[in-house]
Amino acid sequence: MADYGHDLLFGVFLSPAAAHASRTLELARLADESGLDLVSLQDHPYQPAFLDTWTLLSVIASSTRRVRVLPNVANLPLRPPAVLAKSVASLDVLSGGRAELGLGAGGFRDAIAALGGPRLTAAQSIKALEEAIEIIRHMWRDQARGMSFEGEFYRLGGARPGPIPVHDVGIWLGAYKPRMLELTGRLADGWLPSAPYLPPDQLKAANQRIDDAAESAGRSPAAVRRLYNIVGAFDPRGDGFLQGPPKVWAEQLAELTLNDGMSAYILMADDSGLLQRFAAEVAPAVRELVTAERDRGPAATATIAATTATAPAPPTSPAPRSRPVPEALGVVPTPDDGVRLSDVRVWDEAARPRGPEPETGRQYAPHERANAQQLIDVHDHLRAELAEIRGLVEQVVSGAMDPGLARSQLNTMTMRQNSWTVGAYCSAYCRVVTMHHTIESQSLFPHLKRADSRLGPVVDRLHEEHEIIHEVLDGVDRALVAFVGDQDGGELAAAVDLLTDALLSHLSYEETELVEPLARLGAH
């Protein structure tokens, strides 16, 4: 992986909280006056505490002079692509060419359905996104003839393009999983992940998947700009990613540009002081470091990597064993990448038993594939919520987000709390994990053992891991008590790291061993 040579951009990611609307506008104007390039907003139309993203972006564009504005990222299932294209183009015209489009497939299925949107599987969401990109790009082209489109999810009957954007609007995708990354490489103008969900050590592998997909589609990997939503604190004693003085931030971000190709950094913060220091001290320093290294040529790139004060790489476990899943099943378990955030190990992964080999040549009916996919869908929900908890805890502990704004963030999750504390939400998540495990242990697992005795060792091991995960959850509860007592957050962070390691490892193992049996035997 290398520097793609893109110009550097710096921006801010603001919360569209209705209760703090005037402050959001003030921060957007401050970003503009401070020389930042981008102002972005999350898009969760089902969130009653949030303003509508497109309305707020329009007001921000009219209140600023130079920053580009974008959703980070637009919720496609609730934004029909032809109408979304018109909204983006209109804002681009009205702002003098300052609109971009961050776009996502839509991740909160229950909330989307509650607002009248479609309830799509992960695979369907990706296909719908692919169709939407084609429609949006057509609607931005100046053509006299209308567009007819017959897709699986969208249909147009002679839709006329217009208005036409006044500049080439970028379509930047929020993507994390393999199929979304491949779609990004094939079709998108940019990639827009967030550091709390995809830390720096995972960028290289994701970038490679994008590059491979771009080359397979006949595109240059450099055609895809790499953007990054980041979280940090100017802590002179910090020793992690973006946990130090501005000089350390600059060195770390310059290294990501020169070694991992990232070229736009969007700070997730609703704090004016943090925003100003980022604009005044970090952005110019990153530009200076990157320009100097680019002028010296590729051979000099390693210099920054050798001197940057980055956090040590997370420990890894031996490569987890994987079971081949029949191609005919059409359902792919989420792989375990072996990355571990904690030095503590709660079990021996090498001792995990394996179930029976799949039957050669077996075909699977649609309802059987659906049985297998349902397990992954439930697990994906747990993974997404876990990632949000990690991001929330990191921001609150670091001081990058105050509790009031964190509450607005939490309300976007499917497990909303009527009275907010970090502990209340994390405890709710622990209850959901416990309930999921209880359902499996009391109904699904016994059924599978009865239906195929060869699954006995696997089912018993999964039940044992459930018990261990519950002990890890108890550790999170204890750490929350310490955090509420105004501790420094170190114990809470360590407990969440251990929960992350245990739960993600367990979910991958369970999917690897059970997706085929679930298809073959059913859930009950």
Predicted confidence band at 507 (pLDDT cuts at 50, 70, 90)?
very high
Rounded CA-CA distance 463/379 in Å is 16
Total residues belonging to the chain:
524
Q: What is the mean pLDDT of the chain?
A: 85
Check residue 447 and give its pLDDT.
80
Rounded CA-CA distance 117/120 in Å is 9
Question: Domain coordinates of the chain in residue numbers?
Answer: 9-307, 327-521
Rounded CA-CA distance 133/117 in Å is 18
Rounded CA-CA distance 378/333 in Å is 12
Check residue 433 and give its pLDDT.
62
Return phi, psi of residue 499, to 5°. Answer: -60, -45
Return phi, psi of residue 190, to 5°. Answer: -165, 160
Question: How many CB atoms sit inside 10 A of residue 402's CB?
Answer: 12
Superfamily of chain region 9-307: Luciferase-like domain (3.20.20.30)
Angle at 56 between CA 69 and CA 68, to 5 degrees: 10
- pLDDT tens, position by position, 431-488: 656 666 665 666 677 888 888 889 889 888 988 998 898 888 878 777 766 665 545 6
- pLDDT tens, position by position, 419-447: 334 454 455 556 656 666 665 666 677 88
Residue 307 has pLDDT above 60, yes or no: no
Rounded CA-CA distance 194/227 in Å is 9
Residue 363 contacts residue 516 (beta carbons within 8 Å): no
Rounded CA-CA distance 176/182 in Å is 10
pTM above the 0.85 mark? no
What is the rounded average pLDDT of the residues 22-51? 95
Check residue 236 and give its pLDDT.
78
Range scoring the smallest mean pLDDT among 103-107, 221-225, 428-432: 428-432
Q: Give, in order, the Cα–Cα distances in Å from 366 to each of 127, 369, 370, 371, 523.
A: 18, 5, 6, 9, 14
Share above pLDDT 70 across residues of the chain, in percent, rounded to a whole number = 82
Check residue 345 and give its pLDDT.
92
Predicted confidence band at 144 (pLDDT cuts at 50, 70, 90)?
low
Q: Which residue in this structure is represented by tokens 């049996």?
A: 517
Check residue 339 and give its pLDDT.
84
Rounded CA-CA distance 323/217 in Å is 29
Check residue 164 and give its pLDDT.
93
What is the rounded average pLDDT of the residues 114-122? 93
Check residue 308 and give its pLDDT.
46
Check residue 491 and give its pLDDT.
81
Residue 13 has pLDDT above 50, yes or no: yes
Residue 301 has pLDDT above 80, yes or no: no
- pLDDT tens, position by position, 324-360: 678 888 888 888 878 888 989 999 998 999 988 888 8
Fold of 327-521: Four Helix Bundle (Hemerythrin (Met), subunit A) (1.20.120)
Residue 37 has pLDDT above 80, yes or no: yes
Q: Which H or E run includes 2?
A: none
3-state secondary structure of 331: coil
